[in-house]
Every structure is written in C-alpha cells, then in structure tokens.
Structure 1
Amino acid sequence: MAYRMQRLSLTPLFRGFMRFGVPALAALGVVGFLMNNAASREMITTQVNTLRKAFEERPEFMVKAMAIDGASEKVAADIRVILPIEFPLTSFDLDLEEMRRQIGELDPVATASLRVREGGILQIDVTERVPAVVWRGPEGVFLLDETGHRVRSLLARAERPDLPLITGAGAELAVEEARRLMAVAQPLENRLRGLVRVGSRRWDLVFDRNQRVMLPAEDPVSAMRRVLALNNAQDLMERDVTVIDMRLPGRPTLRLAQEASEGLQRIRALGNE
C-alpha cells in the first residue's frame, strides 16, 4: 500500500488534486457551513456591505455640489426642484441617465447633458428652446419654438410683443409653415397682427385696419407672394379692402369696406340714371 501511494503521489493528476482540489473542497465546505448558519450569513453580508460602502465613499467618488450652465434662472430653479439632491453623496448613487430624462421633460429644455467633473461637481449643461411665436390656444397663451414645442406659458400676449401671434385650430402643429409665410410677408411686418389657422388646414393673415388675406391650403407661400406683387403694383393693402381672398389662385377676390362698397354702389346708380 505504501508503495502504491508513493507511485500515485508521483502522478501529475494526483499532485494537482492535492495542491488545488483539496483546498478548494475545504473552502467550499467552510462556505457551505457558514451559509447554512444565519448568524454567519448576516456577519458576512454586513462585512461585504461595509467594505463596499467604504469603497464607494472614498473622497474621489464623492459629489459635493451641483453646477448648472446654459439655463435661465427660472429653468435652473426648476431643475433644482425636480432633482432634490442632498450633498455630499457618492457618485454611485446618481442615476445620470434618469436625471437627464427628467430634465429633458421640462418644456423650456431642448437638450441636457450630465457628468461628474473634477472636484466632485455634478455638472449639468442645458440648451434651452428659443421662442419663435406666441400661440393663443384653448388652454391659454404660450411661447412655442420653431418646431411647435411649448417653451412656457404667458400671462398675456403683451409679454412678448416682439414675436408674431398664431391662433386657431391646429396652429401649433404648423409653426414651420407659419414662419415661412411671415418671412414672405416681411415687407408688411409692421402691419401684421397675427396668423389664424382655419379648419386645421390653411392660414389667414390678419393685418391692421381690419384687413385679412385668406390663403389656400396648397402652396400658401406662392399665394402670399402674389398678394405682395399686387400691393407693389397697385397699393392694394392701402385701399379700402377688408378681405383679399386667394383661396382660388386663378381668381383672387376682394371684399371692400362698407363705406367703399356703398360709395361704389352710389357711383353705379348715378351711371345708370
């Protein structure tokens, strides 16, 4: 038996088993014993949590403050409200992607990026939406950007007299087309009061002196250019005209003011006498 054991100990497989297998089996036995004991499991879990917490709370991983760049004072205040973070805390407790999603849900925010920069600062970079028009809708008055996305609400249209006004059913869904029309109507910009969306399909341009240009649903930009050409040739917008109907591109229709219409009727009556 001694001879056989001596010969067996010389084989590589047996020596490998004695060197690695026996310690591994012993370790598994100890782990199994400890895991079957509730007190031992609790002790191990506590020790692991303590080590993990000590690692996560190392100074290089701690966040001590928040910095917000690119946002107005009001938007920055809103961000601090929706992210009520109590500093200091470890960066492992920050879900940057979820925080970015929450900031992106604010109406004035176009894009937002978050990172933890050197010095333990939570850096938030914000790009705000740029107001393009004032929209008077069923829920109130709002600023919209060039895509029609809400920026913020207004107490009254007079808060932003520098921006054009749009209203009517579906106006907020056609901001891009409205902006093209306003660009074409730029020569009459000082007289333009706003754009009205009619039937969610076409635009009316409303000017001072109670004048209105009714545009077709198809290719309204070209129709508006024709109105400007008529105005340049015949001072159309300076005459006693209340409505310029361009819904039938081949047959523009004019509606005179009441006094002008009555005067025209009197002239016709005199001509028939």
Structure 2
Amino acid sequence: MCALIVPPRDPAPSRWAYRLERLWLTPLFRKAVLKGLPLAALMAIPALWLADDTRRADLAAQIADIRRQVETRPEFMVKLMAIEGASAETDADIREVLPLDFPLSSFDLDLHEMRKTVEGLDAVKTAQMRVRPGGILELTVEERVPAVVWRGEAGLELLDEQGHRVAPIEARALRPDLPLIAGEGADLAVAEALQLIAAAAPLEQRLRGLVRIGARRWDVVLDRDQRILLPAQNAVTALERVLALDEVSDMLGRDIVVVDLRNPARPTVRLSPDAVEEFRRIRRLQTGATN
C-alpha cells in the first residue's frame, strides 16, 4: 500500500502578507491605525447624529438658551449709565446718541463702538467707557474747550484751539468772552489767530476781531473802522511792529483807516476822508502862503 506523501510547508510568507507586514512597520501607518481610526470613529458618531436638521436646530436652541441664562445673570446686568465730565447739553446729546434701554446685559454692549459714537459729537474731545461693579456703565468725557467764535457761511460757531467745531451759537453776545474770527478758511488757522490775538493784547479794548482774507492772510479789525492788513507770512511780527509804532507815536489814535503791511518792505497808511480833506486844505493854505 502506498503512503501519501505530503509536501513540506513553505515557511516564506505570501506576497500580500509580506506587503502588509512591511506596511505595519511604517511608523506613520501604524500611528494612523492606532490613533487615527479610533478618532475618526469618535468623530463619525456626532457627525451622523448632527446630520439630522431637527437635531441640529434643537442643539442650537439649547446652546442659545444656556448662553442667555449666563449673560442675564444679575452680576452681568447693567442697570444705569453715569456720565462724568460733561456739561448738561453734552450729557443730553450723549444720551440721545446712545439710546440704551436698561437693564441690559454687559455682553450686549459694544464699548468700542459706543466710545466712537460719543467721540463723534462735536463737543467731545475724548471718551472712556467701562462697566463698574454694581451694574453701572461709566462714561468719562473730556469736552473741547471753546477758544474762538467763528463767523462762517453756516453762521456763528464755537471752535477750540485746534479749529475743531464745538457747537453753534445763535448770537455773538452769548460768548463775549471769546475773540471773534471770520472769513473763509479761518477755522483752519485758529492757532495763528490766537497768536495774533495774544500779540494784540495792548489793543484788547479796541479789538473787534480778525478776518481771514483769501484763506491766506489776516486783517485785524479795530473799532472806529480801523484795519491792520497783515502779510501772509510773519503776521505776528508785522503786528508787533505796528504796536511798537503806536506806542511811540499813537499812530492808531489818529485819523487812519488802514495800516497796510501786506508788503512788509513798503508799509502804507490810508487816511479817513475827513483827514484827507483836512490835509488837502492845509496844503492849499501852505501853497497860497508860499505864493
């Protein structure tokens, strides 16, 4: 009887087994299988759950409700607004541009945008906002300080020392303590105007204001319809020269209508009509006496 001969087993792995073994020895592949697959499975579970529109809507509503419950807790509620450093008029303007309906949550307040809105008011130079403990919205305001009254095309307006608009006024008599400037472009040269007004301190009682001419130079207007026409450059120096002459010779106390310094090299004066007629009469008398 013939015995069945079984061929010996080949210990070599198959081609696919060899490839899988080599792939498993790759660190990146092994990490992806050991960590990536479980992570993908964990992410797939909520993704499948959130694939339903109704579930997503319910979850969003629950999150919004929880957030609202936190935001409306008493410690986060703002009950009133306190304004410091503002006049009554500015206080009213601020409350008008910030129509807040208290109480409200501090999470609903955009302090940055609110500060920009307040600083957009003409009378406000700077503003600082913060929520104080106790539910108080504190607003600290630095107002612009009026330095001059400007008579422009829109009427009378108060300007600060930088030429920023502060507020309109109805009549000059409401601010007699401030100097008056007028003319096109006068609001852009307030700093120079204040220098001229300071230099004209000896004429303070006679000074009626400054007029900007051609948006490039100033006229100093005095009582008795007198004017000092200043040059476009070195106006303060030119005005100081006139004041020095006036102190020595009382030039501005005479019948002079205009002192023209537009050309500093050739200053001129213009007499009043009565003074011109008197001058001509004297010349005629002198001429007759000579003949």
TM-score (norm 2): 0.85
The answer for the alignment partner of 1:28 in structure 2 is 43
Largest Rg, 1 or 2? 2
Residue 90, structure 1, aligned to residue 90, structure 2: no
What code does the residue aligned with 2:135 have?
G
The answer for the alignment partner of 1:167 in structure 2 is 182
Instruction: Please list, as runs of the form range in 1=range in 2, the aligned pairs for 1:151-162 lying within 5 A after superposition.
Output: 151-162=166-177
The answer for the alignment partner of 1:224 in structure 2 is 239
DSSP 3-state at the match of 1:228: helix
DSSP 3-state at the match of 2:205: helix
Residue 270, structure 1, aligned to residue 288, structure 2: no
DSSP 3-state at the match of 1:190: coil
Residue 210, structure 1, aligned to residue 231, structure 2: no
- CA–CA separation in structure 2 for the residues paired with 1:164 and 1:205: 12
Structure 2 unaligned segments of length 5 or more: list them: 1-29
- CA–CA separation in structure 2 for the residues paired with 1:25 and 1:246: 88
DSSP 3-state at the match of 2:263: coil
Select 1:189's aligned residue among 204, 212, 222.
204
Residue 105, structure 1, aligned to residue 124, structure 2: no
- CA–CA separation in structure 1 for the residues paired with 2:55 and 2:233: 79
Structure 1 unaligned segments of length 5 or more: list them: 1-12
Select 1:257's aligned residue among 265, 269, 272.
272
Deviations 1:106-127 (CA, angstroms, capped at 9, x unpaired): 0000001111111111111100
User: 1:26 Cα shift?
Assistant: 5.4
What code does the residue aligned with 1:204 have?
D
Select 1:243's aligned residue among 228, 250, 258.
258
Residue 115, structure 1, aligned to residue 121, structure 2: no
What code does the residue aligned with 2:160 have?
D
What code does the residue aligned with 1:237 have?
L
The answer for the alignment partner of 1:39 in structure 2 is 54
What code does the residue aligned with 2:130 have?
R
DSSP 3-state at the match of 1:178: helix
- CA–CA separation in structure 2 for the residues paired with 1:221 and 1:267: 36
Deviations 1:48-77 (CA, angstroms, capped at 9, x unpaired): 111111222222211111010011111111
The answer for the alignment partner of 2:24 in structure 1 is none
- CA–CA separation in structure 1 for the residues paired with 2:74 and 2:85: 28
What code does the residue aligned with 2:165 have?
R
DSSP 3-state at the match of 2:262: coil
- CA–CA separation in structure 2 for the residues paired with 1:184 and 1:79: 38
What code does the residue aligned with 1:100 have?
R
- CA–CA separation in structure 1 for the residues paired with 2:283 and 2:147: 48
- CA–CA separation in structure 2 for the residues paired with 1:254 and 1:174: 26
User: 1:21 Cα shift?
Assistant: 6.5
**How many residues were matched structurally?**
258
Residue 137, structure 1, aligned to residue 189, structure 2: no
- CA–CA separation in structure 2 for the residues paired with 1:227 and 1:57: 71
TM-score (norm 1): 0.90
What code does the residue aligned with 1:173 have?
L
What is the alpha-carbon root mean square deviation over aligned residues? 1.8
- Please, which moves more after superposition, 197-206 or 52-61? 52-61
- Please, which moves more after superposition, 36-45 or 106-115? 36-45
